[in-house]
């Protein structure tokens, strides 16, 4: 009787025939009131149940996410590095081989090799020793000692440029033995100078000198016995200073990573996970995981769950492909966006990095002497030996599709000097399932090229005949190209070039990662240059928005006119 009663109760005195008619129709044929009420009640219950059924999974997942203290990727990563404590059964200070008076670097290495018999043999096969890595192009060798060039100091001139050799892990360039302590010595010790002093004191029997000699040798022994797995400083000695100084090259690798805090790098942070480089750059027979010029750091994306012997060089190795808390949209991004894109909001966050190097201005003199001008950050903005620089801090990366491989232009490749030459650039496209949108530092500059042969050139820089001594670029190119057996026409000019570095270090704490709006926005999207995908918030179809605008404005105009018509005609009623 529900509806019946209600209608009667609420019926106004002005109830009319029509209502009764509608009423009776309801009554006799349409739906008996009690029947209708029962159905309404039942359906309301079903609807409530339905809504609950729909919302409950969502609610439970929200509850589950709240309960889940840490995202899957975080749990996995913590497990992967759980047994972090390295232990050893050898105390190197007790070894007789290391308790001798060393007079040369090679002696030290021989002492190492007396136990670690194959170590040097292994190491000498790696790029760290050869400075060469075969290119995919036939007859081309990449590497500092090969045909590769960059837009910093340009070329290693087949290791003829002795200035580069300070970073080579040997006692005397490629001629002496491997210097094990370059990577395994915990103490930074001036071996070269100390051995020179010892040689000078040789045969002197002055008691004071003998005392000094004793101290020097004790110092060497302590340094030699203090061996370790490579620490951040060992790798950093060269890799933080690539390109000729702190932070010049990479932008995400500089001396600030020797003792970073969590804000700079959560993995390497002394107050964070305190990773050494080799925690991710895992090593097999002295081959250290990482990208080698055009070759990717990892052939496949695999987590340690899929393959517990996999390299740990990718983020996915430890964090998996679904690193965020369950059912968050971020996990859907990992098929297209590299972790680094959001988690490294800017690079060079502590120390500045070089963004521009213009060789065209090199060679200017002041009072007949080369000079240097310091600028912002206390960094040189001009050096006679190198040209003009621009430095920057907190740099927003540039983003491109990247499948882990690079393409590069070496000393033997033809260039189009009318264009900006991409000396090194990432490969990948939106259709490539291995490609992700990845952040890069793009180092720009102007460097010499052969006008006739249309090739980049490799001027020799250091040494008595190098540009840094002679300030004669033409001669430097002539000699430099000879070291690589590449002909030089004798005419050079300068061409603008770019060199890309993948940004992968300096991962910020999760709270500092990018907001959606940094990319999902119409204006100034960080991914404005990324093509091949539709991004909500960034993208639109002009035709849809045009039709939409017409539909909405048309409706507003229509109803406004109609309403005004009714207003002015007073709905046609005459008062």
Give the interface segment with another protein, choosing from 45-53, 115-123, 215-223, 302-310 (CB under 8 A).
45-53
Instruction: Name which position in 24, 25, 121, 326 contacts another protein (CB under 8 A).
Output: 25
429 binds another protein (CB under 8 A): no
Residues 122-161: x/- map of binding to another protein (CB under 8 A)? ----------------------------------------
Residue 196: which of 172, 179, 178 has the closest Cα? 172
Among 69, 94, 329, 369, binds another protein (CB under 8 A): 329
Among 1, 5, 19, 210, interactor with another protein by CB under 8 A: 19
Binding mask 489-508 for another protein (x = CB under 8 A): --------------------
**Would you count residue 24 as binding another protein (CB under 8 A)?**
no
CA distances from 462 to 169, 193, 242, 247, 469 (A): 19, 21, 16, 21, 7
User: How many whole angstroms from its chain centre is CA 546?
Assistant: 39
CA distances from 63 to 50, 59, 330, 331, 550 (A): 20, 6, 18, 18, 43
Q: Does 7 bind another protein (CB under 8 A)?
A: yes
Q: Look at residues 535, 534, 531, 551 and name the one whose alpha carbon lies nearest to residue 543.
A: 551
Supply φ then ψ for residue 382, to 5 degrees.
-145, 135
Q: According to the binding rule CB under 8 A, does residue 27 interact with another protein? A: no
DSSP 8-state symbol, 255? G
Cβ within 8 Å of residue 154, ≥6 positions away: 447, 448, 456, 457, 458, 459, 461
Binding-site string for another protein from residue 377 to residue 416, where x marks contact by CB under 8 A and - marks none? ----------------------------------------
Helices (H), 164-292: 180-184, 191-201, 207-225, 232-239
* Residue 305 in the binding site for another protein (CB under 8 A): no
- CB-wise, 58 or 210, nearer to another protein? 58
Q: Using the rule CB under 8 A, is 66 a contact of another protein?
A: no
Two tokens at 40?
A: 């309404």
- Helix H or strand E segment including 441: strand 436-450
CB closer to another protein out of 209 and 557: 557
Q: By CB under 8 A, what part of segment 247-266 binds another protein? A: none
Helix (H) or strand (E) holding 405: none
Contact between 529 and another protein (CB under 8 A)?
A: no
Member of 38, 214, 285, 522 binding another protein (CB under 8 A): 522
Angle CA 302–307–308, to nearest 5: 120
Q: Is 512 a residue that touches another protein (CB under 8 A)?
A: no
Of residues 14 and 83, the one with the C-beta less far from another protein: 14
* Cβ distance to another protein smaller for residue 90 or 542: 542
CA distances from 87 to 93, 182, 229, 309 (A): 16, 21, 11, 20
524 near another protein, rule: CB under 8 A: no
Interface stretch with another protein, choices 43-51, 104-112, 117-125, 312-320 (CB under 8 A): 43-51
What is the DSSP annotation of 131-197? Answer: --EE-SSTT-EESTTTTB--SSS---GGGT-GGGGGGSSBSBTBTS-B-HHHHHBSS---HHHHHHH
| 517 lies in the binding site for another protein (CB under 8 A) | yes
Contact 327/65 with Cβ under 8 angstroms? yes
**Least Cβ distance, residue 262 to another protein (angstroms):** 24
Residues at the contact surface with another protein, assessed by CB under 8 A: 3, 7, 10-12, 14-19, 21-22, 25-26, 29-30, 36, 39-40, 43-44, 46-47, 50-51, 53-55, 58, 329, 332, 335, 515-517, 520-522, 533-534, 536-541, 544-545, 547-549, 551-552, 554-556, 558-559, 562-563, 565-566, 569, 571-574
């Amino acid at each position: 009787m529900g509806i019946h009663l209600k209608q009667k109760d609420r019926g106004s005195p002005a109830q009319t025939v029509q209502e009764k008619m509608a009423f009776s129709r309801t009554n006799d044929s349409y739906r008996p009131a009690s029947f209708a009420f029962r159905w309404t009640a039942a359906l309301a219950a079903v609807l409530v149940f339905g809504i609950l059924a729909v919302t409950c999974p969502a609610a439970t997942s929200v509850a589950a996410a709240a309960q889940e203290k840490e995202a899957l990727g975080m749990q996995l990563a913590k497990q992967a590095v759980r047994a972090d404590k390295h232990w050893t059964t050898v105390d190197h200070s007790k070894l007789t081989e290391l308790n001798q008076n060393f007079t040369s670097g090679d002696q030290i290495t021989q002492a190492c090799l007396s136990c670690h018999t194959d170590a040097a043999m292994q190491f000498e096969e790696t790029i760290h020793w050869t400075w060469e890595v075969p290119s995919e192009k036939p007859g081309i060798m990449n590497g500092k000692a090969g045909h590769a060039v960059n837009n910093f100091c340009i070329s290693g001139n087949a290791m003829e440029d002795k200035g580069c050799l300070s970073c080579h892990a040997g006692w005397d360039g490629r001629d002496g033995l491997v210097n094990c302590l370059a990577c395994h010595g915990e103490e930074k010790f001036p071996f070269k100078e100390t051995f020179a002093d010892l040689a000078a004191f040789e045969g002197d029997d002055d008691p004071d000198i003998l005392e000094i000699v004793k101290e020097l040798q004790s110092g060497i022994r302590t340094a030699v016995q203090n061996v370790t797995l490579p620490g951040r400083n060992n790798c950093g000695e060269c890799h933080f200073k690539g390109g000729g100084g702190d932070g010049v090259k990479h932008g995400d690798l500089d001396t600030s990573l020797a003792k970073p805090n969590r804000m700079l790098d959560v993995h390497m942070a002394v107050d964070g996970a305190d990773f050494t480089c080799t925690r991710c750059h895992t090593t097999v027979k002295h081959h250290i995981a990482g990208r080698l010029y055009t070759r990717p750091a990892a052939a496949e994306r695999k987590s340690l769950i899929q393959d517990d012997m996999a390299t740990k060089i990718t983020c996915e190795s430890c964090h998996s492909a679904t690193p965020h808390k369950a059912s968050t949209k971020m996990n859907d991004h990992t098929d297209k966006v590299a972790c680094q894109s959001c988690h490294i909001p800017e690079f060079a966050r502590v120390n500045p990095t070089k963004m521009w190097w213009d060789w065209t201005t090199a060679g200017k003199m002041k009072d007949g002497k080369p000079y240097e001008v310091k600028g912002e950050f206390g960094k040189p903005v001009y050096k006679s030996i190198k040209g003009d620089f621009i430095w920057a801090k907190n740099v927003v990366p540039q983003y491109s599709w990247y499948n882990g491989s690079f393409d590069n232009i070496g000393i033997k490749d033809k260039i189009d000097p009318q264009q900006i030459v991409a000396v090194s650039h990432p490969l990948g496209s939106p259709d490539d399932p291995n490609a992700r949108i990845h952040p890069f530092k793009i180092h720009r500059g102007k460097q010499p090229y052969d006008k006739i042969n249309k090739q980049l050139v490799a001027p020799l820089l250091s040494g008595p005949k190098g540009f840094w001594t002679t300030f004669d670029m033409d001669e430097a190119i002539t000699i430099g190209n000879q070291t690589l057996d590449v002909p030089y026409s004798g005419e050079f000019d300068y061409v603008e070039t770019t060199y890309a570095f993948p940004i992968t270090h300096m991962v910020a704490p999760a709270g500092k990662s990018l907001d959606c709006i940094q990319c999902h926005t119409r204006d100034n999207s960080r991914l404005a240059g990324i093509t091949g995908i539709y991004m909500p918030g960034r993208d639109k179809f002009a035709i849809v928005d045009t039709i939409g605008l017409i539909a909405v404005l048309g409706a507003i105009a229509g109803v406004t006119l109609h309403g005004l018509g009714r207003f002015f005609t007073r709905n046609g009623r005459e008062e």
